[in-house]
Chain A
Amino acid sequence: MSSPSVRSTVVRAGVRRGLLETKHSLTNAGELAWYLLMPAIFAAVLVFMRDSTVPGTDFALGAMVLPGLIGMSIAMGGLLGAPSIIAAEREDGTLLRAKATPHGMPAYLIAKIVTLTLTTLITLLLLVFPALLVIEHLRFGEARSWAILAAIFALGMLTTVPIGAAIGAMLKSTAQFGWIWLSSMFFVGVSGIFYPLTALPLWLQWVGQALPFYWLGLGSRAALLPAEMAVVEIGESWRTVEMLGVLGVWAVLGFVLAPVLLRRMARRESGSSVAARREEFLTRSY
């Protein structure tokens, strides 16, 4: 329906907005601290685990955790990043501005994808610094590792950003975001990132394997750990096909649900709904 000139304008505006917001976020102390959180956790983990090895092997436990953290950062970028941004920007009227602008909504979504991709990438790059401590155990020197990591990153963003956006569209206020945060902590607990999945009760293993966290962690381990480490995993393999399958299902689910829910949410935005949320926010804070 829209002409090519409109389409290129929307893409250009969206990318510009995404870059600008990434820049704003990198010059904000609070958000910078957030980017440093994951590397800090990892550094702490390395210190605590410095003498531990994976049971039954002489492989450093700390090196085992790094790929899991890569998976977790990717998953958090989409599953927590997207809903927190959407809930906040719906409350403060940013979404309504996008709606009042011709083709503002698609540009807004493009911008969010750009921003989330870049900020997640920055978190991942920062993980490299503590990773240097255990570098000799990891397969960073191989082209194969980087190809798999790039694929996991792309697949992870495709999977988690739409699902995160769908969750964000369902939130009624930023206050509800706390629940998302708590439940994601639980999901990380059963994701096999800090604690091997095989050591958990069987039903929790199933919960863990239903969610993207586990598979993104597993994929990163496949990229970075020596091939013989696969024996520690469920089924004693990296289960690449299953990984693609589960992540694929989540991606499809996200791409089906997100546009419907986002459209529904956008349809309900108006000056008075933003004003009502502002009132609610102000009464909440006193």
Chain B
Amino acid sequence: MEVRDLRMRYGAKDVLDGVDLTAHRGEVLALLGPNGAGKTTTIEILEGFRMRSAGEVSVLGVDPAHGGEDWRARLGVVLQSWRDHSKWKVNELLDYLGLFYGPYSTQDRPRPWPTGELLDLVGLTGQADLRIKSLSGGQRRRLDLAIGIVGRPELIFLDEPTAGMDPHGRRDFQDLVHRLSDFEAATILLTTHDLAEAERLADRILILDGGRIVAEGSADELARQMSTHAEVRWTTDGERHVHSAAGDPTGFVRQLLATHPEVSDLEVRRANLEDTYLGLVQRAENITELEEVTR
């Protein structure tokens, strides 16, 4: 999957302003960002559900804007269900949707995934004969996931997959994602606004903010990359001082000590990834509130 300079404009507003991203086979990628950062728009363009304004996009070697049904058969899209197919039984729906993938079965990827195995995998075996409307919210999310992978996809899109799941469900979900990427060699792109979840699941995290990728890398790399801010605190004559040093805290401290030999209780604290990310989310929320006030 390869994206170059992706842009999306609604009226005068740029929702995506030059997004670049690459995903390799078998990689788990998390698109992390505050609400309104453009995560859903990006994923819908990649799914072929939304036309982009500009940029180059290639998903499994095909431009999603012209992706045919054969291309679609290799994708798994996990949608959030609401009331659809409420009268269907769980196994009826999985059997039915599986039918469409039969013609795309290959030697190394037999399709579809047999319903029994699939139910076992997502932990819904006991609910196989229940009507979908009688499932709990968490069970429904498991079913959504099963539907997304019934065709044994090579590439899976998950938009906010654990929203509304309890901690136990989240844990099961994370195990399943690892299984899919390790044993199925599936490439996975998921969106989330939960940093901890992105850290646990993803090989690589992309932080999207204001329609751009502002940082990219593994959790460790990001922590180093984004933590250029530091806070320096010290005491002179019993008075406490705080300075927020951007760029070069070491240089600031050296100069401070040279000019103020009386400095004591010196403290230098680097902002960690979480601080930086929370700062980002905070800023985005302030902007949203501002927009709501002005509206």
Contacts and interface: CB of A to CB of B under 8 A. Distances in A.
A3 B103 contact: yes
B73 interface: yes
Interface string A6-42: 1001101100110011001100100000000000000
A102 B69 contact: yes
Given A103-B69, A271-B44, A9 B103 contact: yes
Interface in A84-142: 89, 92-94, 96-97, 99-104, 107
Contacts of A103: 69, 100
Contacts of A13: 96, 99-100
A64 B228 CA distance: 87
B79 A271 contact: yes
B88 A20 contact: yes
B99 A9 contact: yes
B49 A94 contact: no
A220 B159 CA distance: 53
- Centre residue among A25, A93, A101, A104 by max chain B CB count within 10 A: A101
B79 A93 contact: yes
Contacts of A233: none
Contacts of A270: 44, 47, 49-50
A94 B101 contact: no
A93 B84 contact: yes
B82 interface: yes
A272 interface: yes
Contacts of B227: none
* Interface size grouping (class) on chain B: 35 or more
A86 to B, nearest CB: 13
Nearest to A101: B100
Interface residues of A, number: 36
A178 to B, nearest CB: 19
Interface in B128-162: 147, 151, 159
A102 B49 contact: no
Given A13-B96, A271-B49, A271-B159, A102 B70 contact: yes
B77 interface: yes
Interface in B62-102: 68-70, 72-73, 77, 79-88, 92, 96-97, 99-102
A102 B104 CA distance: 10
B181 interface: no
B40 interface: yes
B82 A274 contact: yes
Contacts of B100: 9-10, 13, 101-104, 107
A97 B147 contact: yes
Contact of B84 (A24, A94, A104, A272): A94
Nearest to A12: B99
A6 B50 contact: no
B84 A99 contact: no
A269 B48 CA distance: 10
A89 B72 CA distance: 21
A97 B85 CA distance: 10
Contact of A28 (B49, B81, B87): B87
A6 B70 CA distance: 10
Given A9-B103, A102-B72, A97 B44 contact: no
Given A94-B84, A278-B82, A102 B159 contact: no
A283 interface: no
A97 B84 contact: yes
A183 interface: no
Contacts of A285: none
Given A96-B79, A97-B85, A278-B82, 13 more contacts: A13-B100, A24-B88, A92-B86, A100-B79, A101-B72, A102-B69, A102-B70, A102-B104, A107-B100, A270-B47, A271-B79, A272-B40, A274-B82
5 contacts: A13-B96, A97-B84, A100-B79, A101-B72, A270-B47
